[in-house]
Structure 1
Amino acid sequence: MQPRKGEEREDLRPGSRNAQARRLLTPQELAPLTRLSSWRSALSIAHTFGLVAFALALAIATWPGAWMLLSIVVIGIAQHGLFILAHEAAHYRLFPGRAANDFFGRLIGMVGGVSMCTYRVTHRLHHNNLYTEEDPDTAIHGGYPRGKAYLLRKLARDLAGLNAWKTFAYFFGAPAINDDTKREIRPLDDTSPELRAAARRDRLWVAGFHVAAPALALALVGAGWRGLAMYLVLWVVPLVTVLQPILRLRAICEHGAAGDLSSPLTAARTSRTVGSWPNRLARLVLFPHHVNYHVEHHLYPAVPHYHLPALHRLLQDKGALDAAEVRDFTDTWHLVFAARRSDG
């Protein structure tokens, strides 16, 4: 049965190894891995907002001291965690109830300037059309390796806040341009009327929140202009600077420098984050909430983030990942920062 317009579907490319990997797991094996746990999602949300609260408290207590710089970095890292949780909600994997899933997903996205309902539409195209002309994310991660200097320039511009407008335009459903074909991809033109209408309403809520937030910060009792300054420095600055290179580098680690684009087993990448200190640091900064298990996520997007390690072990035991793109993060780092590929 063909999926309805606007839905995710399996990789339908002929001879897809994705389909072969799927057949290795029985429904009985998969069922417990797709079961949603409200308390585990709530714990992930509490952990991420707790990190934000800690960094805010440190900055406010020492304002305007040097500790503020550490707080900005920690808040940017935590904001990335919020983006990952909004991604879970976009897949309907945050809470079992649709209303709760969308309420918290929209709220989490809203504070980060992201329209979760719009991202749901855009991200569906990425899953359905991985590394094809219809994939809106190829503009971010395609063409690597492009050389160390090229990627460092991109990350420096991200850190300077020069590319933030592109990020938020993407999360608001702006057309994406495929660099190779120059084809314009318009995500909101390729979805159901229901999802399009939900995305439109959600964008209005996000815009309204970020118009009201500065006014609320200014009106805080006893804070005044100091409250506005804290909002801008401690929330907006990390959002447009620290967060931006994290988003880019994670996307490139997940899909950049892929050698075989025929299957999600090799067009996506799982980066192991155990062992060496660079691996463990990457887990803290780039891969919160088990998002490093990206091959597994593309194979089974119905599996919530807290079950991805178990899914990885199960697929590994069955040999499904023997030919997959699974490597230590340190190897991934060297791969995406490698010299530019020769056109010949």
Structure 2
Amino acid sequence: MSRIGDFLSLEQMRRLGAKSNLVGGLLVLHAWALIAGSMVLFAWWPNPFTFLLGVMVIGGRQLGLAILMHDAAHGLLFADRRLNDRVGSWFCAFPVFTSLTLYRPYHLQHHRFTQQAQDPDLGLSQAFPTSRTSLRRKIVRDLTGQTAFLRRGEQIRRALGPADAPLGVQLGTLWAREKGSLVANLVLFAGLSAAGYWWLYPVMWLLPLATWYQLVSRIRNIAEHAVVPDNDDPLRNTRTTYANLLMRLLVAPYWVNYHLEHHLFLFVPCWRLPQAHRALLEAGRGPSMELKPGYLAVLKAATSGPATNGRGRGERGTQHI
């Protein structure tokens, strides 16, 4: 089994592992600034272009909030642990109906058993390669809200508890389990209502969350572990995908595309992952790493399987963050 010392010097580890409250705060502010800016643009100049742009940018930043929550799950978003967990929950996880507390142990198990039988996310990668027809069906379900409907339905059913419990008990259980997400979204709705634009909440928050966010989450999942060449090699059981500025804006926010480096160096904050990537390349590790030039190349490899009829392998709506 490879050790971190096989890839980085002690000085590199110290430098790359340094956290920053300032940078963490700026990243969260950046995500919300893009979301607010997209809403303002559409409210000021409503037309099909600003609508589509808003849905795509906001959906991409909703994934960005999930990515920053993911960093918080590793204790990397802020140097201060209390600040890390509070901001990671209230400003990143809860607005997109996710729980940092529930996500953390699940995700750490994924890291401990990456691409092994005990990996809770193994089903996401085992479904590939699939056919182009199968992927098109998935994309249609994502962009029409079907994936979101299934996922949120499952989430609500779990939160309600036993199906035979009295309605009052079920609602109380739902509130206890989902109150963070409900409060955060009520605050967002109230803020937009106070500004005189209540309709932006369903149109420019829930709609992107139900459509574009679902699609880019799926693309991210495929890029990270699908059709990797070696499930046992830490340089090849996950992938780094190069992303240009447009892809970083709409599909791969906050350096999520450097997934190989993240798995290799769990102590490195997301904004230092490009530096970790350069360190690996300078050490001559490039030929041994699973790298793709872009997301289209990943999707091409992931759709090299045979055509299927109906629901193909792994067409469940489950997606990890």
Task: Map residues 229-248 of structure 1 onto 2, 5 A cutoff.
Answer: 229-248=199-218
Relative to 1, partners in 2 of residues 1:323 and 1:113: Cα closer, same or farther, differing over 3 Å? same
* Whole-Å separation in 2 of the counterparts to 1:26 and 1:66: 49
1:111-141: per-residue Cα shift (whole Å, max 9, x none)?
A: 1111122111221111111112222222223
Q: Work out whether 1:159 is the aligned partner of 2:143.
A: yes
Relative to 1, partners in 2 of residues 1:23 and 1:149: Cα closer, same or farther, differing over 3 Å? same
- Which of the residues 41, 44, 54 maps onto 1:58? 41
Measure how far apart 1:87 and its partner are: 0.8
Who is 1:71 aligned against?
54
Relative to 1, partners in 2 of residues 1:212 and 1:317: Cα closer, same or farther, differing over 3 Å? closer
Q: Work out whether 1:99 is the aligned partner of 2:82.
A: yes
Who is 1:258 aligned against?
228
* Whole-Å separation in 2 of the counterparts to 1:144 and 1:308: 26
Deviates more, 1:150-159 or 1:70-79: 70-79
Measure how far apart 1:34 and its partner are: 0.2
* Whole-Å separation in 1 of the counterparts to 2:225 and 2:153: 21
Measure how far apart 1:301 and its partner are: 1.1
* Whole-Å separation in 1 of the counterparts to 2:125 and 2:182: 27
Relative to 1, partners in 2 of residues 1:338 and 1:69: Cα closer, same or farther, differing over 3 Å? same
Q: Work out whether 1:326 is the aligned partner of 2:288.
A: no
Who is 1:25 aligned against?
8
Who is 2:96 aligned against?
112
Q: Work out whether 1:335 is the aligned partner of 2:301.
A: yes
1:248-279: per-residue Cα shift (whole Å, max 9, x none)?
A: 01110111111211123111000122xxxxx4
Question: Which residue type is aligned with residue 201 of structure 2?
Answer: Y
1:217-244: per-residue Cα shift (whole Å, max 9, x none)?
A: 69x3584xxx443211111111011100
Who is 1:192 aligned against?
none
* Whole-Å separation in 1 of the counterparts to 2:66 and 2:122: 19
* Whole-Å separation in 2 of the counterparts to 1:217 and 1:231: 10
- Contact 1:62–1:68, Cα closer than 8 Å, also in 2: no
Relative to 1, partners in 2 of residues 1:125 and 1:299: Cα closer, same or farther, differing over 3 Å? same
Task: Map residues 254-293 of structure 1 onto 2, 5 A cutoff.
Answer: 254-273=224-243, 279-293=244-258
Question: Which residue type is aligned with residue 332 of structure 1?
Answer: V
Question: Which residue type is aligned with residue 300 of structure 2?
Answer: H
Relative to 1, partners in 2 of residues 1:222 and 1:270: Cα closer, same or farther, differing over 3 Å? closer
* Whole-Å separation in 2 of the counterparts to 1:52 and 1:67: 13
Aligned residue for 2:292, secondary structure, equals: strand
- Which of the residues 193, 209, 218 maps onto 2:184? 209
Question: Which residue type is aligned with residue 218 of structure 2?
Answer: R
Question: Which residue type is aligned with residue 68 of structure 1?
Answer: F
Aligned residue for 2:287, secondary structure, equals: coil
Q: Work out whether 1:134 is the aligned partner of 2:134.
A: no
Aligned residue for 1:266, secondary structure, equals: coil
Relative to 1, partners in 2 of residues 1:265 and 1:171: Cα closer, same or farther, differing over 3 Å? farther
Relative to 1, partners in 2 of residues 1:106 and 1:168: Cα closer, same or farther, differing over 3 Å? farther
Measure how far apart 1:321 and its partner are: 3.8
List runs of 5+ in structure 1 lacking aligned partners: 1-15, 175-199, 274-278
Measure how far apart 1:245 and its partner are: 0.6
Q: Work out whether 1:150 is the aligned partner of 2:115.
A: no
How many residue pairs get aligned? The number is 291
Measure how far apart 1:65 and its partner are: 6.5
Question: Which residue type is aligned with residue 248 of structure 2?
Answer: R
Relative to 1, partners in 2 of residues 1:222 and 1:40: Cα closer, same or farther, differing over 3 Å? closer
Question: Which residue type is aligned with residue 302 of structure 1?
Answer: F
Q: What is the percentage of aligned positions where both structures have the same residue? A: 30
* Whole-Å separation in 2 of the counterparts to 1:341 and 1:125: 33
* Whole-Å separation in 2 of the counterparts to 1:22 and 1:207: 44
Structure 1 length-normalised TM:
0.76
Cα RMSD, aligned residues only:
2.8
